Amino acid sequence: MSTEPTPPRLRATTALPRLSAATAPPSPGGRVRPPAQGIVHLGLGNFHRAHQAVYTEAALARDDGDWGILGVASRSAAVAEALRAQDLRYTVAEISPDGTRYTVPSVHTDAIVAARDPERVVAAIADAATRIVSLTVTENGYTYHPATKGLNLDHPDVRHDLAGGAPRSTIGQIVRGLQRRLHTHGSPVTVLSCDNLNTNGEHTRRLVLEFAEHLPRGGDDNLTSWIAASVAFPTTMVDRIVPATTDRHRLEVARDMGYEDQVPVVAEPFSMWILEDHFAAGRPAWEAGGAVFSDQVDRYEQLKVRLLNGTHSLIAYLGALSGAGTIPEAVSLSFVEAAARQVLRREYLPSVEVPDGVDPAAYEEQLFVRWRNSALGHRTRQVGSDGSVKLRERIPHPALRFRANGRMPDLLALTTAAYLSCLAPLDGFDPGPHAREMQDQARQWLTVLAAEAASGVDLARRALADRRLLGDEVAGWDAFIARTGELVDVIRRHGPEAGAADAMGGAR
């Protein structure tokens, strides 16, 4: 599951009041207090508070309703405690080179910690007032097996939950809540994934049903049939760059707003939310905030996961290896921009069915404007973290299209090589501080492989073929594995710029 940041205390500068209901600016719709709860949101991180909560604020400003959000942090109590101390208010700072715009959403009804109070999480999901259970728990929070896409029955949290313990996993929390819901009142509900997973609605539905089928005593037949009939799992695509909050951001909020906020969030001005309009018990008027309800969510998802996220990963890894601490710094390196444009246009775009009305060239330019937002300072270490999960969602499909056409996706191989160089540097190669700070569940075993590998080609074989880093189909593609390994060796001997030049030369 996701982890929430621990907000450091502001250094004392001047005596400022703390953000609260009394010191916050008024809600856009003139509301004095948050609405009654209708949504339980799992994953009380920065992205949720800068995205779904902002859309909900806009929806309630237009149409009043019982759509307040109970925010559920997974394990860390820092954000939840800070929010409660601030009357559940926090500041959203939209940062661009043109300046900063501040808003203070007022949509959360409470903030709790699942690890401390799992029973309350289950009860909240089961509550008849809850009509949507939404999630931003990152790819790792779904406890699925990357190779099969099914529930990871070997995950310790899943084993614990299926044995009858108070649920620790996100899927376990949802299923236990649905089970109680069925046996108390049986009213329908929507489970709304807002994470970067292919067909995230279907993916979540499959995991929920699989967990229900593995419950003790052979499962609950009524539960699985009721879920199939009464629980909606819309597919969504979310997009907004939301960097980690720093103490500098807190000080800027204090300077500009005149109060102390321990848990502000910063974000770019751009925001997008595409949803399948399939809800079992109603929904807020999120379109008031700019959300788009479409029957082409899968196309928008391809556009984002590959063109944006996939290219973003390459920028982060090449940038970190070059000493760039932020994405704008990385994009300012001419070879990084050239490699990013080439992987986007030549290797990702051919695999995407572009949504109606979207101009790919204009979309590309918009992405580079966003990535150059130096005021935002999105860090390469943050974008590059969890690549072992993210790259599985981004690389295999477009890469295998090249294989079917008898061609080599050199820039996708470069992305994989740069990732390996950051997370599992070979003996004698220093990836730099930004790469060393990337978090990844695979780092430990990748480090072991790197220590045993005689070369980049050997490392790529061990990681991609033996350990199936990018899945079974890529594991059987010897030429791609060899090309990845060659580029690892080029990066190790001559640096990331030489690796990018080699890949771009091969792609011509």
User: Which CATH number characterizes residue 246's domain?
Assistant: 3.40.50.720
Q: Which of 288, 196, 282, 263 is nearest to 236 (CA)?
A: 196
Q: Are residues 273 and 309 in the same domain?
A: no
Q: Are residues 479 and 365 in the same domain?
A: yes
CB contact at 8 A, 501 and 470: no
CA 450, CA 452: separation in Å to the nearest integer? 5
Taking only Cα atoms into account, the Rg of the chain, rounded to an integer number of angstroms, comes to 23
Encode the chain (508 residues) as per-residue pLDDT tens digits.
344 444 544 444 458 999 999 999 987 767 767 789 999 999 999 999 999 999 999 999 998 899 999 999 999 999 999 999 999 999 999 999 999 999 999 999 999 999 999 999 999 999 999 999 999 999 889 999 877 889 999 999 999 999 999 999 999 999 999 999 999 999 999 999 999 888 999 999 999 999 999 997 656 679 999 999 999 999 999 999 999 999 999 999 999 999 999 999 999 999 999 999 999 999 999 999 999 999 999 999 999 999 999 999 999 999 999 999 999 999 999 999 999 999 999 999 999 999 999 999 999 999 999 999 999 889 999 999 999 999 999 999 999 999 999 999 999 999 999 999 999 999 999 999 999 999 999 999 999 999 999 999 999 999 999 999 999 999 999 999 999 999 999 999 999 999 999 999 976 5
Q: Are residues 268 and 349 in the same domain?
A: no
In a domain, 477, yes or no: yes
Mean pLDDT value across the chain: 94
CB contact at 8 A, 51 and 43: no
Q: Are residues 191 and 128 in the same domain?
A: yes
CA 137, CA 195: separation in Å to the nearest integer? 7
Tokens of 38: 């209708």
Q: Are residues 353 and 483 in the same domain?
A: yes
In a domain, 25, yes or no: no
CA 85, CA 89: separation in Å to the nearest integer? 9
Q: Residues 6 or more apart from 160 whose CB is under 8 A from it?
A: 168, 169
Residue 344 pLDDT: 98
Residue 147 pLDDT: 74
- Which range marks the domain in which residue 67 is found? 37-293
Q: Are residues 373 and 418 in the same domain?
A: yes
Q: Residue 133 belongs to what H/E stretch? A: strand 132-135
CATH code at 304?
Answer: 1.10.1040.10
CA 60, CA 288: separation in Å to the nearest integer? 9
Q: Residues 6 or more apart from 481 whose CB is under 8 A from it?
A: 457, 460, 461, 464, 465, 474, 475
Residue 26 pLDDT: 85
In a domain, 111, yes or no: yes
Residue that the structure tokens 């109680």 belong to: 180
In a domain, 3, yes or no: no
Q: What is the strand order of the sheet 108-113 is part of?
A: 108-113, 68-73, 37-42, 132-135, 189-193, 231-232
In a domain, 253, yes or no: yes
- The one-letter code for the residue type at 332 is S
Residue 507 pLDDT: 65
In a domain, 275, yes or no: yes
Angle (CA) 191-134-228 rounded to 5° is 5
In a domain, 393, yes or no: yes
Q: Are residues 280 and 314 in the same domain?
A: no
Q: Are residues 345 and 365 in the same domain?
A: yes
Each residue of 334-360: pLDDT tens digit? 999 999 999 999 999 999 999 999 999
CA 273, CA 250: separation in Å to the nearest integer? 27
10 Å CB burial of residue 121 (0-12, 13-18, 19+) is buried
Q: Kindly report the three-state secondary structure assignment for every residue of 401-469.
A: HHHHCCCCCHHHHHHHHHHHHHHCCCCCCCCCHHHHCCCCCCHHHHHHHHHHCCCHHHHHHHHHHHCCC
Q: Are residues 253 and 181 in the same domain?
A: yes
- The one-letter code for the residue type at 395 is I
Each residue of 433-444: pLDDT tens digit? 999 999 999 999
User: How far are the Cα atoms of 395, 474, 478, 485, 486 from residue 503, in angstroms, in the given order?
Assistant: 16, 18, 17, 12, 10
CB contact at 8 A, 79 and 4: yes
Q: Which of 262, 293, 324 is the last residue of a domain?
A: 293
Q: Which of 293, 312, 340 is the last residue of a domain?
A: 293
Q: Residues 6 or more apart from 163 whose CB is under 8 A from it?
A: 216
CA 20, CA 357: separation in Å to the nearest integer? 43
In a domain, 1, yes or no: no
Tokens of 171: 């899927």
Q: How many domains does the chain fold into?
A: 2
User: How far are the Cα atoms of 2, 72, 73, 111, 113 from residue 76, in angstroms, in the given order?
Assistant: 9, 10, 7, 11, 7
Residue 217 pLDDT: 64
CA 114, CA 170: separation in Å to the nearest integer? 9
Q: Are residues 151 and 82 in the same domain?
A: yes
Q: Are residues 272 and 367 in the same domain?
A: no
Q: Residue 390 belongs to what H/E stretch? A: helix 387-394
Alpha-helix residue ranges (DSSP H) falling in 195-326? 200-213, 221-230, 247-257, 297-302, 311-321
CB contact at 8 A, 458 and 450: no
Residue 12 pLDDT: 43
Q: Are residues 257 and 321 in the same domain?
A: no
Q: Which of 255, 278, 293 is the last residue of a domain?
A: 293
Residue 116 pLDDT: 96
**0.75 exceeded by pTM:** yes
